[in-house]
Chain A
């Protein structure tokens, strides 16, 4: 971007001397006229928060993960023992795998269906505004609260889904002339949270349900930046809808798609609430994620060192994502 402002300025000793004689308020005012000074001053609140509540606890966490700290004790330095212990633990392996599957599946579902929904919402129709606000609901209500509704809908005994399945099953029996049984017998339907693969499916479903509106609305914002003339050109060329999407829409919403997807990847990768409410990691750890395992190790079994280490295992992967995105953004910047 071309700029007409003067090049980066520094505080020269001359201005310092000149301002020293002015009253305090004026002096501060003059100081703030200096681009560099103002730049730093405006950064202070954000940096203060970040240093005190992110950087410092982060380094504390790194330290903790190197100790054998259990609740109520200071802990002794043990080097990388916690990490080694975790790497030997099958529960940890499972949690790592689970997190990878969970994150990839949920992010892909959210991105694909979110794009679809955004395209639908981008059309003109009556109640468009209202519909947009409605589909946003899952994203804005507290996850634990909507998670509770899902927990109830997945309940092993009272699941509404299973009730419907059973009802259909019973319908089939009566349709085919079989005796209508008074007692439905032992039919419980799918164990939504009880069998390992279905439980994984269920937590992915709930996470996707919740995150999808965020994708849809962000993509919608992206779609609205696409000039309609481009499509008109496409229409003349006689391209079909899919080609238009692939060659015109997608490249244009790519920047926002990348940002949103990465943001969602991070949030999904570190998800805690869905699992905490629905399964607490069960059945037999088949739905534990890094975050819930860290919570179980650190908070409920009191091994703060091990818990911190489990949480820190997230960092290398998140770090790679961060680096990739920084690289990507920079390339986009220089390219466009």
Chain B
């Protein structure tokens, strides 16, 4: 068994090995305990690294359940072709970063980590160089707002963006009609007027401002940009404290009280889905997953519910229209012992035929990494979701307008922009919330 432990140690990347071995040898109990570790006979388990090659992929658990099934199918197919046993594990997206930290620090765990947003830059020290692979899988054709989010300051790509999601406003056409709203609002001011009527009716706008990965930042950042506010300027200097930011904050203060479900302060990414399907809200910013469930899961909704749904883009603000997009990036870990198989797996899921199946099964919930996927006939099939293919035109990633970097993911992970708005809607003064967010941002960017 010590032999096995030794073998495993031998697999570590050379750069990390010295310190690691040093610790393992000096730590008195190290050797003895390592021997116990291999001895899994007590649990009746064979050591995991026995004969066959394995590939462990950690992914988020999709809001479109069949997407996970399709991923599993493709993984199994790849496994058969390549003679590798592939395990795809799906967990709550909020837990992905912590798992990545533990895996990279420990130097053991999944071979491929699916990371959201700019997280590949936060973990760049623990991720492999993907420059060749990304060049092979689209290179410069990949949308810049997702490609740049994986390129670190040395120009090394730390992953390959697989797809991205983003929100449009899903709304109840019937309720809009009933309360006398002419059509989907085109500007934030129109949205405010519509929202007032909806809230008066009892089915307000539902929006999360809680500590959660997708909806809350997707809304908060986008609103900021529409009003011309920015976390950092083009040079990466903190530029939050501006009249534009103040306008965005003031707008949301009014919008929140007049139009929104105030429960949103405690919502996570799933809450608005539940609330919408339970018919307590009439509109919410979301991926196409609500529509997907309404259309495909008759047990959860009343008959004909899906026909009453429509989507509209984020309204235009004084500085135009933006959409915060959430890239999902496959990142091979540096410690992985199966890098070649991992690369093959990524190539496999990026193959046109495989990606097409994945795209189609998501029915508008995801966008492809390359502009060509916008042309896919799938987008025309159901007019309700066609609008989602326009997201790339307005797409920006967290950290806009500055260069995407690990600081922007840190600001994201600490919910600085989300909390800026959350504090404001609770009643704190606009200037004080901006100033405190600015201080936190400076501590991150200018440390």
Contact = CB atoms under 8 A, between A and B. Distances in A.
B266 A191 contact: yes
On chain B, which size bracket covers the interface? 35 or more
Nearest to B203: A186
B265 A302 contact: no
Interface string A289-303: 000000111111111
A209 B64 CA distance: 36
Contacts of B212: 280
Nearest to A81: B447
B266 A185 contact: no
A282 B278 contact: no
Nearest to B442: A88
A208 B203 CA distance: 35
Interface stretch (A25-33, A71-79, A260-268): A71-79
B266 A301 contact: no
Q: Is the interface of B mostly helix, strand, loop or mixed?
A: helix
B443 interface: yes
Contacts of B126: 71-72
A287 to B, nearest CB: 9
B426 A183 contact: no
B199 interface: yes
A298 B209 contact: no
Given A89-B440, A156-B264, A280-B94, A71 B209 contact: no
Nearest to A73: B125
Nearest to B99: A299
B267 interface: yes
B266 A188 contact: no
B265 A71 contact: no
Interface stretch (A135-143, A192-200, A220-228, A322-330): A192-200
Interface residues of A, number: 47
Nearest to B127: A72
Interface string B100-113: 11101100000000
Given A71-B126, A72-B105, A281-B211, A193 B414 contact: no
Contact of B410 (A156, A157, A196, A301): A301
Contacts of B123: 71-72, 302
B101 A299 contact: yes
Contacts of B278: 157-158
B42 interface: no
Contact of B419 (A194, A284, A299): A284
A85 B447 contact: yes
Interface in B168-222: 199-204, 209-212
Interface of B: 19, 27-29, 94, 97-98, 100-102, 104-105, 122-127, 199-204, 209-212, 261-268, 271, 274-275, 278, 280, 334, 406, 409-410, 413-415, 418-419, 422-423, 426, 436, 439-440, 443, 447
Given A191-B263, A193-B266, A280-B94, 13 more contacts: A56-B27, A71-B100, A71-B122, A71-B126, A155-B271, A156-B261, A156-B275, A188-B262, A296-B413, A299-B101, A302-B101, A302-B122, A302-B410
